[in-house]
Amino acid sequence: MMLKLSILSLGLGFAAHWFAVVFGINARTIPYIEEIMNTAIAVSLYINVLSIDKALFKINLGVILRILVLGVPIKSLVSGF
């Protein structure tokens, strides 16, 4: 299932790129593109948060906090270098 979704995602990305090149579409010229992208990100984050099991979240709260406090900054620094 994950492989099929990955292939579909790649195909859609390449198709979007191809259409942009062929039809000369520049994403920077699309009106309200930033607002549309921010809304899409907010909706997807909200949908992902809805599926979190609260009991499992409370059990693993310590691990989650360690990841947020240590893991995310370390990954950001390593990626930056």
Per-residue pLDDT tens over the stretch 17-44: 999 999 998 888 889 989 999 999 999 9
Locate the domains of the chain by residue range.
Answer: 1-50, 53-81
Q: What is the DSSP string of 8-43?
A: HHHHHHHHHHHHHHHHT--GGGSTTHHHHHHHHHHH
| pLDDT at site 40 | 93
Residue 81 has pLDDT above 80, yes or no: no
Per-residue pLDDT tens over the stretch 39-64: 999 999 998 888 888 899 999 999 99
Distance, CA of 18 to CA of 10 (rounded, Å): 12
| pLDDT at site 26 | 87
Query: Reduced to 3 states, what is the DSSP secondary structure of residue 1?
Result: coil
**16 closest CA partner among 28, 25, 3:** 25
**Mean per-residue pLDDT, 61-69:** 92
Letter for the amino acid at 4? K
